[in-house]
Amino acid sequence: MAPTVSSSIRRSTARSLASYLKSSQSSRRHVPPTAHCSNSPAIAATDPNHTARLWRSVMSYSGTAPWTSSSASVFTTSVLEPHGITIEEFGANQNLGSHFNIEHLPVDPSARLDHYKSQFPSRVWVQPDMECVRTEYDAMYRYRMNEAEHRAYALYALFLDEPRYPGLLEGAGDLKWLPSRMIKLEKKPDKRHWQSPPPVTPPSKSFDWDVCPDCAYHVSLQAFSPAFRRTIKHHVASAQERAVCPYFTIEFKKDGEGEQTAMHHLAVASSIALYNRFCLKAVTRQLGGKKWSADDREQMRHYALTFCGSLWDLYCMVPKTFGFWTGCTMQFISVGDCYFHQDVEKQVGVINDVHYWGLAVHGQSCEQDIVDKICSFSGADMSGIMLMKE
């Protein structure tokens, strides 16, 4: 059933009001000084217990807990800003063809999807009944369904997964590029391959970076030869011994009340993913005695999406500088509302575009960097290691 006039006004008015209220808050977050400012005046350290309590509040927020704008502001100033993490909440919708560098592909999302499928056969490509999706989000709004229902439907209809192979490290599954979906994956930072972003303003704030994103997509180990799969964890962080190098993170909330919380979840999770991708690239550049190329800079990104009720916002996390980490910026890319048919089509296209980028650009670049890193070790055994091109 098509939206009624009153329901359309309700949605557009709510969206406009939410944007107005957010833009009327305090001035935009400043870009913090870079990590070179080691002689900056000392800043009183945040109480680590207070920071921990703030993070527990962020992670446990369900739309009814007393998570206020004041709490959000404190988290920004005590955690995000000291680590150089800036969120650009507003901006014009970007030209997606130009942004993803797919202007040579069909403009029509369905025709573009045919190209994606031919390049990377996979079950994650999204091609739902658009009107069915729109109707479901309308129903969830009308029935005031909770966050779990919104998340469950999105994971069923939009954010799909591949079959799992329990013997992947032993060589199960064909050699091919595939995404691997992780739900609520708990991945604590370590001192080797999964490190938290360093602070860029002294002193270091006490924050454990123990994040657990609602949904994240990685590159499946099926892209690597069986002999390579068993040793890859010695060079990059692996998730459940079946995936590496995350490229897309999603956070869900049932309505606009949790939007700020979802953005903070997203900023923290995405910054860790981007920082570790940055480190892998930086190591290979340094070991090879090479400078960052234009391609290196262009593909250094991580996609992030908030889904609050039927409203979705796409962001792209990028480094502020290259060669030396000085923080990152979560740039606004596009917005939509799944209550409207054309925005459902737009979101489906965006999800497919991100997956294509994750495999064709991000995944293949990560694979090359991992191989380059291994090759840099004297006497490295390269038998069984082969690059899989598109």
Range of weakest confidence among 67-71, 294-298, 349-353: 67-71
Position of tokens 């000084």?
33
Looking at the domain assignment, is residue 339 inside a domain?
yes
- Indicate the average pLDDT of the chain: 82
pLDDT digit string (tens) for 303-348? 999 999 999 999 999 999 998 999 999 999 999 999 999 999 999 9
2-25 per-position pLDDT tens digit: 444 334 433 444 444 344 333 333
Beta bridge partners of 302: 317
Supply the pLDDT for residue 323: 84
Task: Annotate 260-289 with three-state secondary structure.
Answer: HHHHHHHHHHHHHHHHHHHHHHHHHHHHCC
How confident is residue 387, by pLDDT bands cut at 50, 70 and 90?
low
Q: Say if residues 355 and 124 touch (Cβ distance below 8 Å).
A: yes
Quote the percentage of the chain above a pLDDT of 90. Answer: 58
368: pLDDT strictly greater than 80: yes
Tell me the DSSP string of 176-197.
Answer: ---EEEEES------SSSS-PP
Is the C-alpha dihedral spanning 327, 331, 337, 338 positive or negative? negative
Chain length of the chain = 390
Q: What is the mean pLDDT of residues 262-280?
A: 96
The structural domain count of the chain equals 1
Residues 6+ apart with CB under 8 A from 200: 32, 33, 34, 35, 37, 82, 83, 84, 325, 326, 327
Q: Is the pLDDT of residue 40 over 80?
A: no
Tell me what pLDDT residue 337 has. 97
Residue of higher predicted confidence among 290 and 58 = 290
What confidence score (pLDDT) does residue 9 get? 39
**Rounded to whole angstroms, how far apart are CA atoms 203 and 210?**
20
Kindly state the average pLDDT of the residues 98-125: 96
Strand partners, 250: 215, 305
Q: In angstroms, rounded to a whole number, what is the distance separating the alpha carbons of residues 373 and 287? A: 8
pLDDT value for 29: 32
Pick 26 or 373 by higher pLDDT.
373
pLDDT score, position 204: 55
Q: How confident is the model at residue 47 (pLDDT cuts 50, 70, 90)?
A: low
Q: From 208, 177, 215, 180, select the one nearest 194 (Cα to Cα).
A: 208
d(CA 201, CA 82): 5
Spatial separation of the C-alpha atoms in residues 311 and 252, rounded to whole Å:
10
- What pLDDT score was predicted for residue 205? 60
Q: What is the pLDDT of residues 245-259, one digit of tens each?
A: 999 999 998 776 678
pLDDT digits (tens, 9 = 90+) for 199-218: 999 745 678 888 899 999 99
How much of the chain is helix, strand and coil, in % rounded to 5?
45, 15, 40
Tokens representing 234?
């010695």
Does the pLDDT of residue 300 top 70, yes or no? yes
Helix, strand or coil, per DSSP, at residue 216: strand
* In a domain? residue 11: no
Q: Please indicate, yes or no, if residue 282 is contained in any of the structural domains.
A: yes
What's the pLDDT score for residue 384? 64
Give the pairing type, strands 85-87 and 328-337: parallel
Q: C-alpha distances in angstroms, 25 versus 20, 70, 259?
A: 9, 11, 15
Sign for the CA dihedral angle at 107, 250, 321, 289 comes to negative
Residue 39 domain-assigned?
no
Would 37 be classed as within a structural domain?
no
pLDDT of residue 42: 38
Q: Kindly tell me if the per-residue pLDDT of 26 is higher than 80.
A: no
Torsions phi, psi of 37, nearest 5?
A: -80, 60
| Domain extent for 264 | 46-375
Under the banding of pLDDT at 50, 70 and 90, the label for residue 104 is: very high
Judge whether 10 lies within some domain: no
* Closest alpha carbon to 338 in 313, 357, 316: 313
Closest residue by Cα to residue 369 from 256, 241, 276: 276
Residue pLDDT, tens place only, 172-198: 778 899 999 999 999 888 878 899 999
Residue type, position 304, single letter = A
Is 125 part of any domain? yes
DSSP labels, 283-351? HHHHHTT-PPPHHHHHH--EEEEEEETTEEEEEEEEESSSSS---EEEEEEEEEETTSHHHHHHHHHHH
Residue 228 has pLDDT above 70, yes or no: yes
Distance CA 284, CA 164 (A): 31
Q: Does any domain span residue 51?
A: yes
Estimate to the nearest angstrom the gap between the alpha carbon of 209 and the chain centroid.
15
